Amino acid sequence: MENKNTETAIFAGGCFWCTEAFFTDVKGVEKVVSGYIGGKTENPTYKEVCGGYTGHAEAIKITFNPEEVAYEDLLEIFFATHDPTTLNRQGADVGTQYRSEVFYTTEAQKIAAEKFIKELGEQNIFDKKIVTKVTAATKFYPAEDYHQDYYAQNPNQPYCQAVISPKLEKLKKHYKSKLKNQ
């Protein structure tokens, strides 16, 4: 049974296999679903999205309990685990489907995300300007089943070993107090 005191956060920050893995173990996060948002095609497929034909971004939909984890904490982890300064790119993944974007579900989330980005810019956390967009959430389409919990089900897959595992180690080191079972 899902907690009635939950909120939804939606982030696009490159490959959803990575972003999903980062949030699964965060305290207060009840569910993370990989999917597609922000495009024009209804019920897009992975092949269509990866081909750049739909306008959708690979994204994650996070169900969280705000009494256990603040939206601002989720923003902090999101910006620490991807490069928000590269337009339509994360590492070797290139295209609008890999853009950096916060899809807000409430006006409070919009204000928090815009404030957070402004503060990061003022603190010169990144060498380049942050290009992350803050956009009202549109319909979110869950990705195909084989994309859900991808890292947990495929930890030895070469992409997971080369890209996700090192980032997860960094996350565990810097955000240990915000993670479950730590």
157-181 pLDDT, tens digit each: 998 898 899 889 988 898 989 999 7
**Whole-angstrom distance, CA of residue 78 vs CA of residue 19:** 8
Nearest partner of 65 among 5, 107, 110, judged by Cα: 5
What's the whole-number average pLDDT of the chain? 93
> DSSP of 121-160, one letter per residue?
HHTT-SSS----EEEE----EEPPGGGTTHHHH-TTSHHI
Mind listing the domains of the chain with CATH numbers?
7-178 (3.30.1060.10)
Q: Work out the average pLDDT over 49-69.
A: 95
pLDDT tens column, 15-55: 999 899 999 999 999 999 999 999 999 999 999 999 998 99
State if pTM tops 0.85: yes
Q: Write down the pLDDT at residue 122.
A: 93
pLDDT tens column, 91-132: 888 999 999 999 999 999 999 999 999 999 999 989 999 999
**Whole-angstrom distance, CA of residue 161 vs CA of residue 65:** 30
Catalytic residues: 15
Q: Write down the pLDDT at residue 1.
A: 43
Residue 58 DSSP code = E
3-state helix, strand, coil in the chain (%, to 5): 40, 25, 40
